[in-house]
Amino acid sequence: MYPESIKLFIDTFSKLPSIGPRQATRLAFHLVNSGKANIEETSKAVGNLKNIKICSECFFIHSNSDNLCNICRDKNRKNTVVMIIEKETDLISIERTKKYPGKYLILGELTKSGVLESSQKLRLNSLKNLIKNRGGQIDEIIIGINPTTYGDLNALLISKELQGLSKKITRLGRGIPTGGEIEFADEDTLGQALERRI
């Protein structure tokens, strides 16, 4: 029923988070009706994303000439405190509180199975090596994982993996409602959760 290019668009965009086939179809028609210049601009915005790089220390995005993001390059941020989070958007939420002086490790979205994926183990290993190269032990590792049942399970797994590499391993306080998400918590709630670490 659809021309090949529309079909391809719908297939591609349906794979993106929070966009299903219906939304993808609406987007396709919207773009077609918006004219060639708009389509060009949209495809350029998507295409430019390929220039974004991933930080070699925390795995956040950047577009610097070396391998480090702006947070990892920042000499004013503490190397001795590292927060482990799932997603880039969690980092952005924590940064908005302006209450966190340390560094991060982005792990990628955790599964509900209570098993870490191999890519996540690799990222944890990279943090382990980083800490070993900086003297073997830091002051604090904060596990900034959503307070859900599987989040708790994963937090336990992660803290076992990192045992001995930090003087203490904490979690964000229970300001975030149980089952809630860091990404959607407001700045005050998140700031309090940060201050009342457990």
Q: Which residues bind Zn ion (CB under 5 A)?
A: 55, 57-58, 60, 69, 72
Residue closer to Zn ion, measured from CB, 58 or 81: 58
What is the closest distance, in whole angstroms, from the C-beta atom of residue 103 to Zn ion in the complex?
7
Residue closer to Zn ion, measured from CB, 9 or 104: 104
What is the closest distance, in whole angstroms, from the C-beta atom of residue 163 to Zn ion in the complex?
24
CA angle 106, 165, 172 (to 5 degrees): 50
What is the closest distance, in whole angstroms, from the C-beta atom of residue 143 to Zn ion in the complex?
18
Residue closer to Zn ion, measured from CB, 43 or 129: 129
CB 75 within 8 A of CB 96: no
Residue closer to Zn ion, measured from CB, 28 or 130: 130
CB 143 within 8 A of CB 127: no
Is residue 49 classed as helix, strand or coil in its secondary structure?
A: helix
Q: What is the 3-state secondary structure (H, E, C) of 125-154?
A: HHHHHHHHHCCCCEEEEEECCCCCHHHHHH
What is the closest distance, in whole angstroms, from the C-beta atom of residue 115 to Zn ion in the complex?
26
Residue closer to Zn ion, measured from CB, 61 or 153: 61
What is the closest distance, in whole angstroms, from the C-beta atom of residue 34 to Zn ion in the complex?
36
85 token code pair:
């989070």
Residue closer to Zn ion, measured from CB, 72 or 169: 72
CB 145 within 8 A of CB 170: no
E strands present in the chain: 53-54, 61-62, 81-85, 103-106, 138-143, 166-171
Q: Largest Cα–Cα distance of the chain, in whole Å? A: 63
What is the closest distance, in whole angstroms, from the C-beta atom of residue 2 to Zn ion in the complex?
42
7 token code pair:
């079909």
